[in-house]
Amino acid sequence: MSSIFRFRDTVEDGLHEQVARLSKEMASLQKILSRQGSRAAAQTRDSASEIYDELASRVYDAMPVIRKQTRVAQKTARDNPVATAIIGVAVAGLLLSLMSRRS
């Protein structure tokens, strides 16, 4: 009987050692993954910042043209109120038909 108990104790000790080693390896892997996640987050943040800067620059550069086109559209609308109203009704109808199809 004592040899069975010794065998069991040996197996349990071996299992405890394996569990301890696996726990250390898991902790090490978690640190590695955490570092990689931090790097990926930083890279994503940097990429998003670059994209934002590029878009902001393009919008800033386009603002004079947008303002000019807005003034032209306003003048055209004032000069042609009937055509403007017809276009407005057509656009509203188009939007309503598109929204009714989604439902």
pLDDT tens-digit series, residues 31-62: 898 888 888 988 999 999 999 999 999 999 99
pLDDT at 24: 92
Q: Rounded to two decimals, what is the model's pTM?
A: 0.45
Nearest to 20, CA basis, from 10, 12, 8:
12
Neighbours of 32 (CB within 10 A): 10
Query: Buried b vs exposed e over 73-94: b needs ≥16 C-beta within 10 Å?
Result: eeeeeeeeeeeeeeeeeeeeee
Residue 86 has pLDDT above 70, yes or no: yes
Residue 1 has pLDDT above 70, yes or no: no
Longest dimension (CA), the chain: 108
CB under 8 A, 24+ apart: contacts of 79-86: none
